[in-house]
A and B are shown apart, each in its own frame.
Chain A
Amino acid sequence: MLTINNLHASIDGKQILNGLSLEVKPGEVHAIMGPNGAGKSTLGYVLSGRDGYEVNEGSVTLGDQDLLGLEVEERAKEGLFLAFQYPVEIPGVSNMEFMKESVNAVRDHRGEEPLSSAEFLKLAKEACKQVQLPLDFLKRGVNEGFSGGEKKRNEVMQMILLKPSVCILDESDSGLDVDALQVVANGVNSQRDGERSFIVVTHYQRLLDFIKPDFVHILANGEIVKSGNASLALEVEKSGYAFLGKELEEEVEA
């Protein structure tokens, strides 16, 4: 589904990713954990094609497409979805108008008929209820005045409506209390259908109690230094990322 091979990327001349490789198969959930500054958010930005991030080396394929050769909006149409850690507020553009435009752009790319306003409203209302946001959030400006938790739920709502094939959740747990975390996790879990894949980027293990990963990877200094199953996350929870330093040192010594 998504194959990242030896990815090197920099911003403003500063090297952030240093040879990251990851293979995500359909239906799999991969958690990526790591300390601050490891390059966790950069991965999402590079995969989505954000301006300013430069890929120096390596390749990424989505299905049989060269992902890095596509524009930002084309990547989204091909089924890549990035749930942001800090979604931007856009006053003046209604959430509803924004999501309808987005859903119809993706539908058009798939060769499907655009949804009418009435059809879209019906779907949007259902998704809104599913992430437990009041319906008037559809009418408000995109993320305008939303709390941190409401913004995260709005991201999950978009994911539900867009039906992407690969979802990257960038610290979707940050700043959430347990109830909000549960809502976000339920939203994500409802979209696990054996085909859709997830990359869950998180600093803490807590989110992984709610979204069970198939694999856990530790990202440090821009590359994956350790991979394992869900128990690796518990290990991190117990002893922090301090062991990384030791292991890296040991590797060097060996």
Chain B
Amino acid sequence: MSQWLNGVIDQAQGLNDYLAPMRQQALTQLKMQGWPSPRDEAWRFTRLTSVRDRISAADKQSEAFAVPEIAGLKPVDLVFVDGQLITKLSDLSLPEGLNITSLGTQEASDQEKVSRLYAQVKPQRHLFGLVNDALCQQGIYIEVAEGVSIEQPIRVLNLATADLDAHTRVLVNLNPKSRLTLIEQGSGEQASLTTAFSEYRIGEEAELEHYRFALFTGAAKQVGGSHFSLESRSKLNSTFVGYGSELSRLDVDITHAGEHANAEMNSIYLLAEGELFDLHSTIEHAVPNGTTTENARGIVGELAKAVFNGRIHIHRDAQKTLAELNNRNLLLSNSSQIFTKPELEIYADDVQCAHGATVAEIEEQALYYLLTRGIDRSKALVMLNFGFIQELVNAVPNESIREWLLPLLSDRFARMEVK
């Protein structure tokens, strides 16, 4: 067992709010599952020792923090600092049809709405998801009314500034034919642990444009997840960007709960020296006629480790499913590691599915050719090896985000060493 997990359980047992039934369920699961062994498939390549024995060192959040800007985006920002929501929701002026409530709401009707989503979309198998279920008191519930399209993006920020455990939750309920752009963004580099989980119910014919920028680095540990349930004819377009840190892990679940839904998920990870990033995605095609396209592409630097596990599960009744999954990697050094495992599990016979994974290295000859023409090494590396990442950036629907991401990622890549 883990000293840290015991602490979590003790602490959760003292929480007696309207979410207590869900917390109890999670605790039961946690006690049953226990701390994962290194053989546990979900944690085979990512060691959890640093969390197992963790004692958070700070007793309060630091006062200094900066909200990272994305030029031209002008989002509604909802800011968590070390797990505390610091945005005053009552100060926000929101358009008609958009409702944002805190998890700590005292309104019985709001509490009921939260309860209908909390721990309902996210599967119970995620260890840290259960921890979050048990302990999370800071979170946001966002609802868009039927037929309403919200133009202004909403951004939920998780900033880690002190050595604390932060547990936050985002719940999004899109009613039929509504539309929303939502960005989950997290960063921090000093020792800390953030568990940030989000659950999305995308109603019939509703559309969600989703981003998750998991930009924690250094000693900041993040273990989180984004979980989606797609009702019929709904659309999800999701882009994940991950840096690596001492421990950085995301779990994504997309469930086709209604027919003719469409999910596109693109993931990019760029890992500098010694970093770890672990992405597990599970797509459940529970009903017929769903479409999923998933691309995960990453560059792994010296002594860095990437783990990608992409599973597509097509249930017996899910005929006429179209599903594609692809993972491409570039290793910059002999000491770079990628553990990639695309998995297709198909129980229906009339489906079209494809999956694949590739791992490439730097092409020395092409690099030399560009250098002999006076092009600087970092620029040459970007020209030669960044194209497959750039393709996914170009596919980002939002122009401001595209223009923010491209230099951010190409600069990070250009600073990485090739050995």
Contacts and interface: CB of A to CB of B under 8 A. Distances in A.
B375 A102 contact: yes
B407 interface: no
Contacts, number: 65
Given A82-B372, A102-B373, A88 B365 contact: yes
Given A72-B371, A90-B384, A97-B383, A105 B376 contact: yes
Contacts of B383: 93, 97-98, 101
A114 B365 CA distance: 27
A76 B379 CA distance: 15
A6 B373 CA distance: 26
Interface centre among B365, B370, B380 (most CB of A within 10 A): B370
A105 B387 contact: no
Contacts of A105: 373-376, 379
Interface centre among B365, B374, B375 (most CB of A within 10 A): B374
B374 A73 contact: yes
Nearest to A84: B369
* Interface size class, chain B: 10 to 19
Contacts of A75: 372
Interface centre among B372, B377, B387 (most CB of A within 10 A): B372
A75 B374 CA distance: 7
B387 A98 contact: no
B96 interface: no
Contact of A98 (B365, B368, B370, B371): B370
B364 interface: yes
* Interface size class, chain A: 20 to 34
A158 B383 CA distance: 18
B382 to A, nearest CB: 10
The 10 closest A-B pairs by CB, nearest first: A76-B374, A102-B373, A72-B371, A105-B374, A106-B374, A73-B371, A92-B387, A77-B374, A88-B369, A88-B365
Interface of A: 48-51, 71-73, 75-77, 81-82, 84, 87-88, 90, 92-93, 97-99, 101-102, 105-106, 109, 142, 158, 162
Given A51-B364, A73-B380, A93-B383, 14 more contacts: A50-B368, A72-B371, A73-B371, A76-B371, A88-B366, A88-B368, A88-B369, A90-B369, A92-B384, A92-B387, A93-B387, A102-B374, A105-B373, A105-B375
